């Protein structure tokens, strides 16, 4: 039997953004945090590098703002960048208070004003400003926040709950457009429950799973973006997808990143015949920026029709390789590749979704009572290209500002009543699951081939045609069969894929992460791509 639940706040997503919001809200509120699989399922757990923040005495807010604006290729919203950076120190102090075990800097000279935690530097940053917990920052943050959350009696953590759709006044045919809760598939009971909530938060992460190769965990299906769109929210800049140049190419490896430090230490990119190709693309060769290396690899793979290229560090002494890259060495060895004497097969992989649900500085979307925070949102911080380690920062800063906004509005919002249960009377069990698996593969492959690192108008048109066919087929399937996690994700991926294609077609220039052979130049006026659903206000 499907059930009804009532919460003051429902947070869909248990990553950095969702857990931070839950912990920042007052402890007299009844809060539910949902995760569609295990709680660790999001990208947060896998983040390695760290969090960017202005912490060292020699660093300044202006410098972090300038670096972010430069990386964003003219498209960052300066107020969003300044807001995020100005709140970076207090966000990190809050994390330290929660007990996150950031790596300390025992060498620092406190009398000289040095910072007590170790700060590292990453691409695009002109200062050391990345606070980290060794090379497993995401896990350290996630585990600490989860521990704090478990200590709080007012927060209920619900695993294996897949939000299917948002419930709004508009969808129920009532006056107004407020969000009233969500329908959620309980994977343990197989039923779709009705969760009533005064405030609903989408903290569902990115959509990199729309591509064949991705560094993201399986759940990164853009569920929040698709649900918000169906509820009447605008979305922004979905054409900007960041690709990491080197992900291990192996049928069982799924999503293992080969760190850029390998290229930093002299690893060379080669074609299957051993020939180097980076010198043909950029004078910095293998040390060119991420997007240029990813584009060169993609170009060679398409030109030669090959499945991967090779990253080769075998010319360095074996001890050096084992000592500097123990994790990469071990992981590759598990797949039968000894990197001290063999090249590593690699492909670029979708890594980060820069666009998302359009929100203001409090994380408020276009639908009243509905917030979007973290990778699922579009705040204007990243512009046309995300700067490394700004994404976790965005999760903390906007989760905290959303919490403040909810508190300020608590008294004005009553618990929604009389929500209808999910209607499953017209659907049956599917005996055609092969369709889901087939469509899922087809979608991810044509997104990779036609809407990937290098685009053309013709490729985008092909993708648009195919995604329309898929959406029709998925709609029919959705209307006739019981929902499952796979079906919900496929429906959302196809929806987000269409929005990405439409956004890419609307941009008649090459800027930041969006590169098209038909419009290689930059337009003088930088504009966001904002899409508005037919059921939106105005
Ligand atoms: C390998 C890797 C390394 C990275 N390294 C860094 C780094 O060093 N620094 C940095 O700043 N950023 C890094 N990033 C990016 C950063 O980790 C993410 O942008 C960030 O963690 C996103 O956090 P989030 O809370 O928005 O979402 P996530 O952590 O992705 O969490 C999403 C949550 O939503 C849940 N969910 C999704 N859909 C539904 C649904 N329908 N119903 C119920 N629950 C749902 C999931 O189960 C999950 O709990 C990295 C990303 C990856 C993949």
* Whether residue 21 is found in the same domain as residue 56: yes
Tell me the pLDDT band of 338, cut-offs 50, 70 and 90. very high
| 375 pocket-lining for ligand 1 (C-beta < 6 Å) | yes
Q: Is 438 helix (H, G, I), strand (E, B) or coil?
A: helix
Per-residue confidence at 538, pLDDT binned at 50, 70, 90?
Answer: very low
Question: 336 and 385 share a domain?
Answer: no
Residue from 21, 42, 125 to probe ligand 1 pocket by mutation (most atoms less than 8 Å from CB):
42
Q: Report whether residue 245 contacts ligand 1, using a CB cutoff of 6 Å.
A: no
Whether residue 523 lies inside any domain: the answer is: no
Q: Identify whether residues 179 and 99 lie together within a single domain.
A: yes
DSSP character string of 214-227: BSS-TT-S-HHHHH
> CB of 445 within 8 A of CB of 496?
no
Residues 21 and 66 in one domain: yes
Pick from 89, 25, 19: nearest CA to 402: 25
Residue 73 lies in a domain: yes
Q: Determine if the pTM surpasses 0.85.
A: yes
The reply to whether 279 and 192 lie within a common domain is: no
Verify that 312 and 198 share a domain, yes or no.
no
Cα–Cα distances (Å) from 299 to 6, 386, 508, in that order, read 52, 22, 21
Band the pLDDT of 253: cuts 50, 70, 90: confident
State whether 224 and 261 are in the same domain: no
Read off the pLDDT of residues 107-142 as tens digits, 9 standing for 90 and up: 655 555 568 899 887 778 888 899 999 878 999 999
Does 64 fall in a domain? yes
Residue 312 CA to ligand 1 centre (angstroms): 30
Instruction: Compute the average pLDDT of residues 82-88.
Output: 98
* 189: phi then psi, degrees, rounded to nearest 5: -90, -20
**265, 388: one domain:** no
Strands 235-236 and 31-34: unpaired
- From ligand 1's centre to the CA of 454, what distance in Å? 25
Residue 446, classed as helix, strand or coil, is helix
Domain count, the chain: 2
Would you state the structure tokens that stand for residue 271, as one six-digit string? Answer: 């074609």
- Residue 315 domain boundaries: 241-351
Give me the CATH number covering residue 124.
3.50.50.60
CA angle 430, 435, 437 (to 5 degrees): 105
In a domain, 484, yes or no: no
Measured between alpha carbons, how far is 44 from 385 in angstroms, rounded to an integer?
Answer: 19
Are residues 225 and 338 located together in one domain of the fold?
A: no
Tell me which residue has tokens 């490394």. 388
* Ligand 1 atom showing the smallest separation from residue 45 Cα: 29
Both 246 and 371 in one domain: the answer is no
**Does residue 400 share a domain with residue 261?**
no
Of 351, 373, 403, the residue that ends a domain is 351
Residue 462 known to be catalytic: no
The contacts of residue 351 (CB under 8 Å, 6+ apart) are 208, 214, 215, 216, 242, 243, 244
Report DSSP state, residue 175.
Answer: S
More confident residue, 409 or 255: 409
What are 386's two structure tokens? 């995300």
Of 336, 351, 366, the residue at which a domain comes to its end is 351
Q: Do 390 and 345 have their domain in common?
A: no
As given in the structure block, the two tokens for residue 251 are 């049928």
Is residue 395, in this structure, part of any structural domain at all?
yes
518 occurs within a structural domain: no
pLDDT band at 537 (very low <50, low <70, confident <90, very high): low
Q: How far is the CA of 125 from the centre of ligand 1 (A)?
A: 22
Q: Is 84 in the pocket of ligand 1 (CB under 6 A)?
A: no
Binning pLDDT at 50, 70 and 90, where does residue 201 land? very high
pLDDT surpasses 60 at 72:
yes
**pLDDT band with cut points at 50, 70 and 90 for residue 25:** very high
The verdict on residue 221 lying in a domain is yes
pLDDT digits (tens, 9 = 90+) for 435-490: 899 999 999 999 999 999 999 999 999 999 999 999 999 999 999 989 999 999 99
């Amino acid at each position: 039997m499907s059930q009804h639940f009532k919460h003051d706040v429902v947070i869909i997503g248990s990553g950095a953004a969702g857990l931070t919001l839950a912990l920042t809200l007052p402890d007299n509120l009844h809060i539910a945090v949902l995760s569609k699989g295990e709680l660790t399922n999001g990208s947060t757990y896998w983040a390695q590098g760290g969090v960017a923040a202005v912490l060292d005495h020699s660093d300044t807010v202006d410098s972090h703002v300038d670096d972010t604006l430069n990386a964003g290729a003219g498209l960052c919203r300066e107020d969003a960048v300044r807001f995020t950076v100005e709140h970076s120190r207090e966000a990190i102090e809050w994390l330290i208070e929660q007990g996150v075990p950031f790596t300390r800097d025992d060498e620092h000279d406190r009398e000289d004003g040095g910072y007590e935690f170790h700060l590292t530097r990453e691409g695009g940053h002109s200062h050391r400003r990345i606070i980290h917990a060794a090379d497993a920052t995401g896990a350290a943050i996630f585990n600490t926040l989860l521990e704090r959350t478990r200590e709080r009696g007012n927060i209920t953590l619900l695993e294996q709950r897949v939000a299917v759709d948002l419930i709004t006044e508009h969808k129920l045919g009532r006056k107004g457009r407020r969000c009233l809760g969500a329908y959620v598939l309980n994977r343990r009971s197989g039923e779709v429950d009705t969760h009533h909530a005064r405030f609903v938060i989408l903290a569902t992460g990115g959509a990199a799973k729309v591509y064949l190769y991705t560094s993201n965990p399986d759940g990164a299906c853009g569920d929040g973006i698709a649900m918000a769109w169906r509820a009447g929210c605008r979305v922004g800049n979905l054409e900007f997808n960041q690709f990491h140049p080197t992900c291990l190419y192996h049928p069982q490896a799924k999503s293992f990143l080969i760190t850029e430090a390998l290229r930093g230490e002299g690893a060379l990119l080669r074609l299957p015949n051993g020939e180097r190709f980076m010198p043909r693309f950029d004078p910095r060769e293998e040390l060119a920026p991420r997007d240029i290396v990813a584009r060169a690899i993609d170009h060679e793979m398409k030109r030669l029709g090959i499945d991967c290229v090779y990253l080769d560090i075998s010319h360095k002494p074996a001890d050096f390789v084992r000592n500097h890259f123990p994790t990469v060495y071990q992981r590759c060895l598990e797949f039968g590749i000894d990197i001290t004497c063999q090249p590593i097969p690699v492909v670029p992989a979708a890594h980060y979704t820069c666009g998302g649900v359009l929100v203001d500085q409090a994380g408020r979307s276009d639908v009243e009572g509905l917030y979007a925070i973290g990778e699922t949102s579009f705040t204007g911080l990243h512009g046309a290209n995300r700067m490394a380690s700004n994404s976790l920062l965005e999760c903390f800063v906007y989760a905290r500002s959303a919490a403040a906004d909810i508190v300020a509005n608590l008294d004005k919002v009553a618990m929604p009543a009389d929500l209808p249960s999910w209607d499953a009377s017209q659907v049956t069990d599917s005996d055609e699951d092969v369709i889901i698996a087939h469509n899922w593969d087809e979608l991810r492959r044509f997104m990779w081939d036609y809407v990937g690192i290098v685009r053309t108008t013709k490729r985008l048109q092909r993708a648009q045609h195919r995604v329309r066919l898929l959406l029709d087929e998925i709609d029919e399937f959705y209307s006739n069969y019981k929902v499952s996690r796979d079906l919900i994700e496929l429906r959302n991926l196809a929806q987000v894929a269409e929005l990405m294609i439409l956004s890419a077609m609307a941009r008649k220039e090459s800027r930041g992460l969006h590169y098209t052979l038909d419009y290689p130049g930059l337009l003088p006026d930088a504009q966001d791509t904002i899409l508005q659903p037919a059921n939106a206000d105005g």
